[in-house]
Structure 1
Amino acid sequence: MSLGLGCAQLGNLYQERTDDECAAIVDAAWDAGIRYFDTAPHYGLGLSERRLGAALAARPRDAYTVSTKVGRLLEPADEGGDDLADGFAVPRTHRRVWDFSRDGVRRSIEESLRRLGLDRIDIALLHDPEHRPDAALRYGFPALAELRAEGVVGSIGAGSKDAGMLARIVAECAPDVVMVAGRYTLLEQPAAAELLPACAAAGVGVLAAGVFNSGLLAEDKPREGLPYEYGAAPSALLRRAAELAEACAAHGTTLPSAAIAFAARHPAVAAVVVGADSAGQVRRNAALFAAPPPDALWPDLAERGLL
């Protein structure tokens, strides 16, 4: 079981960050022993990949694992304005174009390698294949398999918040790994019904991302204004998060600690991938990962009807 750093924030997720701030986030992760880093072209129109590559450039290549994604090509576009409609505070110099074709996947990986400054990708994932399911399964996954055979990428699979789509990929494509985002968390566990058992049976590694549900579980005491699914958290979920936090406090732990530990407890989960807005948050998350809540918390949450 390992802890990974989600790198959407390196692409200015929600707000601008300097190159130095982003380098400090990666440095803090490295110092905390984190060696898995997840990014995507989608994150900041390529900015996340460029910044991650720069931050890792002086590290021994065999000492870390990088995953990135395919499915959205970045086409130059002089549209003006910013990309905040898609969540990133960057100039809108490119537009995203869905493309799971063989040529599109190969081009995407080639461009990611250039932005990252790497000669290979350790893990390549179909990104949100539910948006183009037929193309992703018929063309995208075989294209990744070709690249794996050529040694350009290592493990292959898919990343999505659609647990049903990921279960279909496990059944039809035999991936090495899947990344499930926000669907196996302390707050909600739809991936537990079909996806995780299928992965365990098939020997497919699960990368559990979005374990804070976009931020709702990231603080000790949930409050109005915290995000869920990249928007304001609905009041019903905010109340549920508050009940979870109260139960955690009764066991001498915190909501974010339990959120990380819950995902890590499932035997199919190979890594928990957590984002961070600052170097301090990275250090906090690493400390929480290293000191999980007491075992008595889990049956208590079940008795309270919170799991």
Structure 2
Amino acid sequence: MIDADGFSRLGFGVTGPHAGLGAGRGATTRLIHQAIDLGVTLFDTGPAYGRGEAERRLGAALKTVPRAKVFVATKAGVHAGGHRDLSAGAVEMSLRDSLKRLQRDHVDLLLLHGPAPDELTDKLIRRLQAFRDRGMIRHIGVCGRGGELDRAIELGVFDALMAPVNARLTEAERQRLEQARAAGLSVIGIETMAGASQAPSVPGSRGDLWYLAQRVKQRLQRHPVAPTTGSPADSLRWALSQPYANSVMCLTTKPSHLAANAALVAALEAKQPTS
């Protein structure tokens, strides 16, 4: 498990709209700095987002921030060119390229991006542990949603899982997260707002257009539309009040949304009894 003070309860995802047309580079930088001012220390990105553009943006934004002040997570397995390769050599090449784009000599957490259970080989794990011994990474983990998470828990060598945490989780998915926590892994929740109701509005920014395009894409691909589970604030409150995740990621292009999320986290933490 990663030390309890290793990162904040609320994380910020430099993914999606921050990897290209959804937000300008200046807007991404301002949001990252705002997040830090609001007490966010956990930042997640990956080479697959915008062919490395998301990592470049995060690296540039953090250039003037003391390294000990933030916890940076990136991924390997789905590479900057979009191809998938979880061989030990490809993961090492991906990590080295990520460090260059992030302008860092190490990352705090390297997550394998959606590996199949049988891709978590002894050779790959030894290579990850070698990265840690060399100081290139501090912690290792797996990002996914199914059997790869079960395998990661079973192996007992990973420090963290990144997985969906929202009110739509099945009982089996909830039990998996509880098992991960009981086994000593840190859990970082993603897709926290899945199912949250979105008030209709006229797109007023590049970010709004990006989100609208994602919704249209989902409809064109005929993804089933599940019932809503409340407002975005309700969804975040639910994820933070459950025993499943140490931290939850937020993804936004709006400073007001980021501030509201941080305020909600602060209010919930203020209500928790001190030990």
Which residue identity lines up with residue 103 of structure 1 in the other structure? G
How far has the Cα of 1:137 moved from its partner?
3.5
Counterpart amino acid of 2:218?
G
Amino acid at match of 1:58: T
Aligned-residue offset at 1:282 = 1.4
Determine the structure 2 residue equivalent to 1:217: 196
Using the alignment, how far apart are the partners of 1:111 and 1:23 within structure 2? 21
Whether the 8 Å contact between 2:174 and 2:244 is mirrored in structure 1 is: no
Deviation at 1:200, TM superposition (A): 2.1
8 Å CA contact 1:257–1:289 kept in 2: the answer is no
Query: What is the deviation of 1:123?
Result: 0.3
Cα distance in 2 between the residues matched to 1:285 and 1:191: 28
* Offset from partner CA, 1:43-63 (integer Å, 9 cap, x none): 111000000010111001111
Using the TM superposition, give the Cα deviation of residue 73 of structure 1 relative to its aligned residue in structure 2, in angstroms.
Answer: 2.9
Q: Do the aligned residues in 1 keep the contact of 2:166 with 2:238 (CA within 8 Å)?
A: yes
With over 3 angstroms needed to count, the CA separation of the structure-2 counterparts of 1:99 and 1:11, relative to structure 1, is same
Give the number of equivalent residue pairs: 250
Q: Taking every aligned residue pair, what percent have the same amino acid on both sides?
A: 28
Give the C-alpha shift of residue 226 in structure 1: 9.2
8 Å Cα contact 1:208-1:271 kept in structure 2: yes
1:149 equivalent in alignment to 2:133: yes
C-alpha distance in 2, partners of 1:228/1:139?
A: 40
The Cα of 1:193 is off from its aligned counterpart by: 4.0
Structure 1 residues 150 and 188, CA gap change in structure 2 (3 angstroms): same
What is residue 119 of structure 2 aligned with on the other side? 135
**Aligned residue in 1 for 2:157:** 174
8 Å CA contact retained: 2:23, 2:253: no
The one of 218, 239, 248 aligned to 1:272: 248
More strand by share: 1
Task: Tell me if 1:50 matches 2:64.
Answer: no
2:102 maps to 116
| In 1, Cα distance between equivalents of 2:242 and 2:34 | 27
Structure 1 residue 5 and structure 2 residue 17: aligned? no
Residue 102, structure 1, aligned to residue 88, structure 2: yes
Structure-2 change in CA distance of 1:176 and 1:218 (3 Å): farther
TM-score w.r.t. length of structure 1: 0.73
Provide the C-alpha distance between the structure 1 equivalents of 2:199 and 2:267, rounded to a whole number of angstroms: 16
1:163 Cα shift?
3.1
**Structure-to-structure mapping, 1:198-213, within 5 angstroms:** 198-213=179-194
In the alignment, the residues of structure 1 paired with residue 100 and residue 139 of structure 2 have an alpha-carbon distance, to the nearest angstrom, of: 19
Q: Structure 1: any 5+ residue segments left out of the alignment?
A: 75-94, 246-254, 296-307
- Cα 1:124/1:235, change in 2 over 3 Å: closer
User: How many angstroms apart in 2 are the aligned matches of 1:45 and 1:32?
Assistant: 29
Distance 1:107 1:229 in 2: 35
Query: Which SS does the other structure have where 2:161 is aligned?
Result: strand
Q: Which runs of 5+ in 2 are unaligned?
A: 1-7, 202-211
Which protein is bigger by CA-based radius of gyration? Answer: 1
Which residue matches 2:207?
none
- Aligned equivalents of 1:140 and 1:189: distance in 2? 30
Q: CA deviation at 1:143?
A: 2.0
Correspondence for 1:82:
none
TM-score normalised to structure 2 length: 0.81
> How big is the alpha-carbon RMSD for the aligned residues of Structure 1 and Structure 2?
2.7
- The separation in 1 between residues aligned to 2:245 and 2:237, in whole angstroms, is 11
Q: Which residue of 1 aligns with 2:218?
A: 231
Secondary structure, aligned partner of 2:40: coil
Instruction: Report what 1:249 is aligned to.
Output: none
AA in 2 matched with 1:266: Q
- 1:176-191 to structure 2, matched below 5 A, reads 176-180=159-163, 182=164, 184-189=165-170
Distance 2:216 2:174 in 1: 21
Report 1:9-28 matches (<5 A).
9-12=17-20, 15-28=21-34
Distance in 1 between residues matched to 2:131 and 2:138, nearest whole Å = 8
> Counterpart in 1 of 2:206?
none
Code of the aligned partner of 1:194: Q
Code of the aligned partner of 1:98: R
2:3 corresponding residue in structure 1: none
